[in-house]
Structure 1
Amino acid sequence: MQPEYVFETEMEVRDYECDIQGIVNNANYLHYTEHTRHLYLKSLGVSFAKLHDQGIDPVVARMNLQYKAPLHNDDVFISRLAIRKEGLRYVFLQDIYRKDDNRLAFRATVELVCLVNGRLANSPEYDKAFGFIK
């Protein structure tokens, strides 16, 4: 079952992200998903830096990663995300598709929690931005 995506962005594989086999090194997918989450926040008008200055910091608590099909140098891909909230956790479902054939290359479930002034807490600011409270 495909998630209901709320955001997507297009990116391109850069040559230095590939290993000796000519495929994207596995760790770079984490950069792609993190960049997608930051662009999503920006699209909502949320400043990651300003919230940090207020003592509000989302941090990754858990990740489940599935590598489906390799990306290669110069591949263009679409990074999509869906989000839900479970208790204090924001659960991002993130998929990366190769643009030329729409094949799923990577899937991640990323769970984030917020630290408010260094303590685990709910963030009304993020809840509002993500549409969990009106």
Structure 2
Amino acid sequence: MKDYIFEIQLKVRDYECDIQGVVNNAVYQSYLEHARHEYLLSMDKSFKELTAQGVLLMVSRIEMDFKQSLTSTDVFSVQLRTERQGLKLVFFQDIVRLSDQALCLKAKVEVIAKVNDKLSRGEIFDTLGI
């Protein structure tokens, strides 16, 4: 898993593909988000609980570089690592098709946090241990 701190395996479902038979571009964002949610759950954190505590984690920017297409029934992994950059927590995420280890997508997802309706300076990420 290189320098990744979390990985989840998923499988492409038919309805996620467009008329060309490849995964629709918008679906990749769902894969990335699902991996981030599962990462938090693996650390005994959940968006629902954080929200109830007045902590809102929000995506402020996403960069996605599409390398190769996934197609129906492909099994793939979403791998991630995090890095603090000022008030942001940055998720570096890769999607890799498992059958041939092809890199399908590289993403950089920047997340900010509001705590009790005020923008955090990033210290909340340290407090949460993420």
TM range (shorter): over 0.9
User: Which residue in the other structure is 1:22 paired with?
Assistant: 21
Structure 1: 5+ residue runs without aligned partners? Answer: none
Partner of 2:104: 105
Measured on the aligned residues, the alpha-carbon RMSD in Å equals 1.6
Q: Structure 1: how far apart are the matches of 2:8 and 2:29?
A: 15
Once the two structures are superposed, residues 69-94 of structure 1 have per-residue CA deviations (whole angstroms, 9 ceiling, x without a partner) of 00000000010001000111000000
Deviation digits for residues 92-124 of structure 1 (CA, Å, limit 9, x no counterpart): 000000010000001100000001122211465
Match of 2:53 in 1: 54
Instruction: Please say if residues 63 and 107 of structure 2, whose CA atoms lie closer than 8 Å, have aligned partners that are also in contact.
Output: yes
1: CA distance between counterparts of 2:53 and 2:128? 16
TM-score computed with the length of structure 1 as normaliser: 0.91
Residue 116 (str. 1) matches residue 90 (str. 2): no
Aligned length, in residue pairs = 130
8 Å contact kept, 1:14–1:74? yes
Identity across matched positions, percent: 43
Q: 8 Å contact 1:3–1:82 — kept in the other structure?
A: no
Please say which of residues 118-127 and 33-42 is displaced more in the overlay: 118-127
Moved over 2 A (4+): 122-126, 128-131
Once the two structures are superposed, residues 14-51 of structure 1 have per-residue CA deviations (whole angstroms, 9 ceiling, x without a partner) of 00000000000000000000000000000011122111
Any conservation in 2 of the 1:116–1:123 contact (CA below 8 Å)?
A: no
Contact 1:3 1:93 survives alignment (8 Å):
no
